[in-house]
A and B are shown apart, each in its own frame.
Chain A
């Protein structure tokens, strides 16, 4: 089905829904790279006007990635069909009216939470394209998505952090030094999550044991994760490694996930395996998955089906919500300038991802970050950090001095988290806050963490 709008005496036609969404997307280098972006500013706004008039119902029948060719589309359709009754509350709205509804007083946090399962990722992406940054912040702010493992993350008035103590050779002492540094600055209540240099069972097990022993000895209310490939984590689990959260990078198409070496059935299998570890006997339904995403991964894997990168990112959230994850993290500026060119594009993408994730019912965090080949710097990150704090982001990263010495990019520092907590009066997760109040920090040292 074709869509069109006349602006300035010119008739702009958009032959497919995917084309309409791509042309309506605020400018970014990845869509330009894919050759699907609007060719002029007027064409972009014409597409946005046409998109505003589009009934939400259209998304039920027109799929941006073919149903037959893609298991993510099939998952999205299944989710939608299972929640058809809930969707009937908004099925008369156009995309533009949906924006107005989201911003209205009628759209309370409870109402949006109830609607979340019925919202397709393409609908969330579509409405976000009609929203300014302040809209994205304001609507996100209404939605609380609370998840629990040993800590409770996402409560209003709280800001958690992933302590990210990466080391260029996976050296346990170096990692322990960064863990200590983070704990002393109140970081680590979402997860202590290490990106390993070496993707193998021995490293994974060594690092999981390091976190687990320290956590047990000092009664630290947090959870462990080592972000190796999911198949490596499965091997480690089979050998008895103490794994709390199961990690995987995911994308919005079947082919993107294939490029990551995963499929929905593999994720299901790994998820069942992690659940069977029964790490929290008193909370068998605890959230145990940790997913990372980021705009541009599908194009990077040549798996984008000519769909814009922001819509595909939202589709990755449909994969995530199937598993009721503990944490979802959009690693917004990591992928590089060919997808998000500069600070302005990273800022918008971070707020879009957080909004779309929350609207779909996910516990969204954000790795507020940039690489050294992007036209961005610390000032850009401060702007995104502050706006995400106002938007109620569940958690951010905590990296010593914001410099990740293994992954070679800049994220947010322990100090950045303190800044945001101080500025907005935010507190850590309640269990972690209670632990800090018991004065445990004086007992901590690198040796104590290593020898726990």
Chain B
């Protein structure tokens, strides 16, 4: 799915009224402080900006943010209002999407992982949205299923939970490539259970981890969709997962997707946090991100 934000700028529709004949899309970005464009309404904005050197540089190449939007008066133009409306519609639809079952867990199993599947206590999306606590509990059938799940040779060090969260689209797109990147970084990965969870919140990893007696949980979950990012995946690391853990006791890595954090970097950060949690015997705000993984 391509959002309007990701279009090359050349594809953006022209806005002739605003542009006053300018065809260079770069000028779309900057031609909004000229004398005919609402300085009466916004007298504090200098006219000189319209001609400054930055007008030659397209801000849109530097960020996926909606920078450089034209003005009509002080308002957005019709094109940009409708772009925003379309992106909102895409995000709304992502909230109501579902995981690709059964092909999704089958694909994970083919890669050699131990795979299970559970459901939360929220029976449908509407209930899920209004009753988050149900998304943090296992359905009675799923709790029973996990308790009698295949007997593991030892209690697992780690359990990975893949949860639909607020964007099944994110899970469908990114969970398996991220698992691929994680595999070489996790010792004894073949002994790590991967549990696919429907109608799930982050904290569903707590009862899952408790039942499987895991020392640590990694929850990969669809984040709430943004306009430019209906498919963003988050990862939450919790030491000694059990019901009652607070958010301050987890570490989070956010925004895993094509235009955000790449799989390799995300996997390195997850592996680092797992090692730190094991070393310190805790997770949460006491652990800081690996300084070596930071920006220059």
Question: B291–A400 contact, CB under 8 A?
Answer: no
Can you give 21 contacting A-B residue pairs, CB < 8 Å? A167-B65, A178-B65, A202-B295, A203-B289, A301-B247, A336-B129, A371-B224, A372-B226, A401-B65, A403-B5, A403-B66, A408-B224, A408-B227, A410-B227, A413-B66, A413-B76, A415-B69, A415-B76, A418-B71, A422-B74, A442-B49
User: In residues 54-99 of chain B, which contact A (Cβ within 8 Å)?
Assistant: 54, 57, 59, 62-69, 71, 73-76, 80, 84-85, 87-88, 91-92, 94-95
| Chain A residues proximal to chain B, CB less than 8 Å | 29, 33, 165-178, 180-181, 184-186, 197-203, 206, 229, 231-232, 235, 258-261, 300-301, 336-338, 341, 371-373, 377-378, 399-410, 413, 415, 418-419, 421-422, 427-428, 432-433, 436-437, 439-446
Is B181 among interface residues, defined by CB-CB distance under 8 A?
Answer: no
C-alpha spacing A238/B227, complex, angstroms: 37
C-alpha spacing A199/B247, complex, angstroms: 14
C-alpha spacing A444/B62, complex, angstroms: 16
Is B22 among interface residues, defined by CB-CB distance under 8 A?
Answer: no
Q: How far is the CB of A100 from chain B (nearest CB, A)?
A: 37
Stretch in B38-46, B110-118, B142-150, B172-180 touching the partner:
B38-46
Q: Nearest chain-A residue to B269 (Cβ)?
A: A198
Question: A418–B289 contact, CB under 8 A?
Answer: no
Question: B45–A184 contact, CB under 8 A?
Answer: yes
Q: How far is the CB of A235 from chain B (nearest CB, A)?
A: 8
Identify whether the interface residues of B are mostly helix, strand, loop, or mixed.
loop
Residues of A within 8 A of B53 (CB): 445
Q: How far is the CB of B288 from chain A (nearest CB, A)?
A: 5
User: In residues 179-198 of chain B, which contact A (Cβ within 8 Å)?
Assistant: none
Find the residue from B42, B62, B84 having the highest chain A CB count within 10 A. B62
Question: B225–A372 contact, CB under 8 A?
Answer: yes
Question: A408–B225 contact, CB under 8 A?
Answer: yes
C-alpha spacing A441/B260, complex, angstroms: 30
Which residue of B45, B87, B228, B285 contacts A186 across the interface (Cβ within 8 Å)? B45
C-alpha spacing A440/B54, complex, angstroms: 13
Is B2 among interface residues, defined by CB-CB distance under 8 A?
Answer: no
Question: A436–B44 contact, CB under 8 A?
Answer: yes
Question: Number of B residues contacting the other chain (C-beta, 8 Å)?
Answer: 70
Residues of A within 8 A of B59 (CB): 177, 180-181, 446
A409-B224, A441-B52 are contacts. A169–B248 as well, Cβ < 8 Å? no
A181-B68, A199-B289, A260-B248 are contacts. A422–B41 as well, Cβ < 8 Å? yes
Question: B229–A408 contact, CB under 8 A?
Answer: yes
Known: A200-B294, A338-B132, A418-B71. 10 other contacts (CB 8 A): A166-B65, A168-B261, A174-B63, A184-B33, A261-B248, A337-B129, A403-B84, A422-B42, A422-B74, A439-B46
Question: A441–B75 contact, CB under 8 A?
Answer: no
Q: How far is the CB of A409 from chain B (nearest CB, A)?
A: 7
Residues of B within 8 A of A232 (CB): 288
Residues of B within 8 A of A402 (CB): 66, 84
Question: A436–B46 contact, CB under 8 A?
Answer: yes
Find the residue from A167, A168, A336, A421 having the highest chain B CB count within 10 A. A168
Question: B42–A403 contact, CB under 8 A?
Answer: no
Which residue of B69, B88, B254 contacts A372 across the interface (Cβ within 8 Å)? B88
C-alpha spacing A419/B73, complex, angstroms: 9
Question: A200–B130 contact, CB under 8 A?
Answer: no
C-alpha spacing A165/B42, complex, angstroms: 21
Is B157 among interface residues, defined by CB-CB distance under 8 A?
Answer: no
C-alpha spacing A413/B223, complex, angstroms: 22
Q: How far is the CB of A416 from chain B (nearest CB, A)?
A: 9
Question: B223–A408 contact, CB under 8 A?
Answer: yes
Question: A168–B259 contact, CB under 8 A?
Answer: yes
Is B7 among interface residues, defined by CB-CB distance under 8 A?
Answer: no
Q: Nearest chain-B residue to A259 (Cβ)?
A: B246
Q: How far is the CB of B205 from chain A (nearest CB, A)?
A: 16
C-alpha spacing A127/B88, complex, angstroms: 36
**What 4 A-B pairs have minimum CB-CB distances, sorted nearest first?**
A401-B66, A408-B226, A174-B63, A422-B41
C-alpha spacing A258/B84, complex, angstroms: 38
Residues of A within 8 A of B71 (CB): 185, 415, 418
